[in-house]
Chains A and B, each alone.
Chain A
């Protein structure tokens, strides 16, 4: 059983489209993290959130604690957004769980 499930696993979009990646989790959490892994392999932390919504540029992350669900939105998508997006949660028992990632390809 995976504590973190992401959907979709793979996503292809046209440049300019609005993109949503979903993350559901089954454990109580203290925080949820969104990470971006570039095609070259490097991993960057995008957001850490425990409630509500955060925005950075064209990226928006939301979390609903009651529903144990988070979404990552990308507005006006661009080919440089092509990457694997990883959701991870830290539960209140100090365990940390990673999703397997959503592979996004944005076509010009």
Chain B
């Protein structure tokens, strides 16, 4: 199994509070991704990173920011959580662009915003 961990695994927070989710990898892969998964929707890309300090938006980036100061860590921040951000969040990594390389997924973080 690819060495990917996510923390926390479960979190309940109140509307308006900031939340940071962490993805940590031990594979030294260049690309890292944050997805959210909701019933009735496929996995949707929030943000991705193609190197240290190099990030770009995905299709559902509003309300989220990311940072990558080290190869192994990719942080997802909800500056002011809303109930619509209740979801399961998955981190993924790949050696290169995901169309040409397999992605490896973390175990997921279940976030509930009340």
Using CB atoms and an 8 Å cutoff, list the residues of chain A in contact with chain B.
4, 29-31, 33, 35, 41-45, 48, 86, 88, 90-91, 94, 96-101
Say which residue of A31, A42, A91 sits within 8 Å of B105 (CB atoms).
Answer: A42
Task: Decide if A94 touches B97 in the complex (CB within 8 Å).
Answer: yes
Evaluate whether A45 and B104 lie within 8 angstroms (CB atoms) in the complex, with A4-B42, A98-B42 already known: yes
Please report the C-alpha to C-alpha distance between residue A15 and residue B75 in the assembled complex, in whole angstroms. 42
Query: Can you list 6 A-B contacts (CB < 8 A)?
Result: A31-B100, A41-B107, A43-B92, A90-B99, A96-B45, A99-B42
Using CB atoms and an 8 Å cutoff, list the residues of chain B in contact with chain A.
40-45, 88, 90, 92, 97-105, 107-108
Would you give the shortest CB distance from B108 to chain A, in whole angstroms? 5
Please report the C-alpha to C-alpha distance between residue A102 and residue B76 in the assembled complex, in whole angstroms. 28
Say which residue of B40, B44, B99 sits within 8 Å of A98 (CB atoms).
Answer: B44
Evaluate whether A86 and B42 lie within 8 angstroms (CB atoms) in the complex, with A30-B100, A96-B98, A96-B99 already known: yes
Closest to B103 in A: A45
Would you give the shortest CB distance from A59 to chain B, in whole angstroms? 15
Number of A-B contacts (CB under 8 A): 49
Would you give the shortest CB distance from B1 to chain A, in whole angstroms? 9
Please report the C-alpha to C-alpha distance between residue A101 and residue B40 in the assembled complex, in whole angstroms. 9
Closest to A92 in B: B99
Closest to A95 in B: B59
Say which residue of A30, A35, A43, A99 sits within 8 Å of B99 (CB atoms).
Answer: A30
Contacts A45-B105, A48-B101, A94-B97 known; 20 new A-B pairs at CB < 8 A: A29-B99, A30-B99, A41-B108, A42-B105, A43-B92, A45-B103, A86-B42, A86-B43, A88-B42, A90-B98, A90-B99, A90-B100, A91-B99, A96-B98, A97-B42, A98-B42, A100-B40, A100-B41, A100-B42, A101-B42
Task: Decide if A48 touches B42 in the complex (CB within 8 Å).
Answer: no
Would you give the shortest CB distance from A24 to chain B, in whole angstroms? 14
Evaluate whether A43 and B90 lie within 8 angstroms (CB atoms) in the complex, with A31-B100, A33-B103, A90-B99 already known: yes
